[in-house]
Amino acid sequence: MKMRRILYIEDDLEIGSWVKDDLEQRGFNIQWLKTGEGAEKAVINSDLVVLDVMLPGLDGFTVGQRLKKEAPRVPILMLSARTAVDDKLQGLQFADDYVTKPFHPDELAARIEVLLRRSGLSVSNEIKLGHICVNLSENTIIDQRNGEEIILTGKQYQIFMHFIKHPNQILTKEQIYESVWGEQYMEGDKTLMVHIRYLREKIEINPGSPEIIETIRGIGYRVKQ
């Protein structure tokens, strides 16, 4: 099953970062925009929109109305620090739900699941890659040939989840290393390559001819979903 795609529009970098990280950990594929610019194009490939009211330029109400006109079947969940009834009523003229800041991440995730179920796009907690099944809610990787769990080290798991969060994208060695280790990648460093070799030995049928983690020669790696 493919990851559910959420278009997230939020200009606050701190809030945006933790919401994006939290939803990705829950198995969603997040496209985060800081303004409404480009949203009408992005919504076509989205399963749901999470939209903040207070945006630079066009406000969330205007952006939301345009998105609903562009993609009527895509649910919109509004986020706002405004608690006035008039604001909520204005938002609910086009939006499918309205969450007031501050909110708990569990509440946001639950509201998203409800909207996706209503639209027939229930959240997928499992991702199948060849012979393995990744359960995002239980943080397990199962070899479907024998039903056994594949145990990864901390760094192997972080690398693998970085691929899962960026399906079908070609990721450079620099991007992966800096995300997982939190340090600048030094040209010639073999640390990542060694970890990926050991990771492949655990998840690939034939590590010498990998089918899950592809090597994109001269660039980096990719996991197709």
Per-residue confidence (pLDDT) for residue 1, from 0 to 100:
47
Q: Which residues of 72-93 are buried (b: 16+ CB within 10 A; e: fewer)?
A: eebbbbbbbebeeeebbebbee
pLDDT in tens, the chain (225 residues): 456 899 999 999 999 999 999 998 888 899 999 999 999 999 988 999 999 988 999 988 899 999 998 888 899 999 887 665 666 677 678 888 988 888 898 999 999 988 988 876 554 567 889 899 988 767 889 999 999 999 999 999 999 988 987 888 899 999 999 989 988 999 889 999 999 999 999 999 999 999 999 999 989 999 987
Phi and psi at residue 145, in whole multiples of 5°?
A: -70, -30
Residue 128, both tokens: 């199948």
Per-residue confidence (pLDDT) for residue 135, from 0 to 100:
83
Per-residue confidence (pLDDT) for residue 2, from 0 to 100:
57
Q: What contacts 184, CB < 8 A, 6 or more positions away? A: 178
Per-residue confidence (pLDDT) for residue 179, from 0 to 100:
87
* H helix runs in the chain, sequence order: 13-25, 39-42, 60-70, 85-91, 105-118, 154-165, 173-181, 191-203
Instruction: Identify the helix (H) or strand (E) that includes residue 31.
Output: strand 29-33
Q: How far apart are CA 172 and CA 131, in angstroms?
A: 25
pTM as predicted:
0.56
